Amino acid sequence: MELYIDTANIDDIRQAAELGILDGVTTNPSLIAKEGVDFHNRMAEICEVVTGPVSAEVVSLEHDAMIAEANELLQIANNIVIKLPSTVEGLKACKTLSDRGVKVNMTLCFQPLQAMLVAKAGAFLVSPFIGRVDDTGADGMDLIQQIRTVYDNFGFQTKVLAASIRHPMHLVQCALVGADVVTVPYKVIKQMMHHPLTDKGLAAFLADWEKQKATV
C-alpha cells in the first residue's frame, strides 16, 4: 500500500520524506490557503522534495477552464498529477487529459458509480473520502470495499486512494480491504510507529542494560 502525505506544509513534507517511506503528496486549495503562500510556488517546492506523484487541484468547474488550469499546473514539474472533482465536467476533463497521457486524481468521490465512471475515463487515482462519509453516519470503509470490488470485477487499473483518514485504525482497515494508496496528515504518519508496549519494552531493555553495566 502506497503512503502519501495530505498537506501543503513544506516542513511536514520534508520530515515525512526523511523517513524514507513517502510515495507521494496530495494537496487542495484549503490546505494551500492555510499556509498563506502562493499556490504555484508551494507546488514547485513540494515537487523538489518529493519525486513521486504530487496532486495539484484545479478550482474551475467547467471543462475548458479545467483544462486550461491543468495545462498551467503541468508546467510546474513532471510529477504533477491533476486533481479534478468527481462531477460531470470533471469526468469530461479527466477523459480529455487521460487521453493525452496526463495522470488525473478524481477527488471528492462518495459512491461506487462515480468511481466506476472515472475509471472508465482513464483516471490514475480515485479519492473516496472515508472520514467525511463517517461524518454522515455511514461507514466510509464500506465505500472503499465497494470500489475495490468493482475495480477487481472489471479489471480497472485506476488506483483507489483512501482520503479523509482521521486515525491509524483507518489505515489498518484500508490495508485489509486492499486500498492501493492512503493519504494522511503527518501526525497520523507519526502515530503509525507508536505503541505503548514498544515504549514499555524499550524502557525495560535499557533499564536491564544499565543494571548489567553496573555489575561489570
Residues annotated as catalytic (active site), given as ranges: 83
Relative orientation angle of helices 39-49 and 10-18, to the nearest 10 degrees: 10
DSSP state of 124: S
89/121 Cα distance (integer angstroms): 12
Helix then strand count (H, E) for the chain reads: 11, 8
The residue whose grid cell reads 496528515 is 185
Assigned C-alpha cell, 213? 553495566
Residue 186: closest CA among 45, 17, 55: 17
Within 8 A by CB and 6+ apart from 154, the residues are: 116
Q: Which residues pair with 56 in a beta bridge?
A: 82
Q: Which residues, 6+ apart, have CB-to-CB distance to 167 below 8 Å?
A: 188, 191
Which DSSP letter does residue 163 get?
B
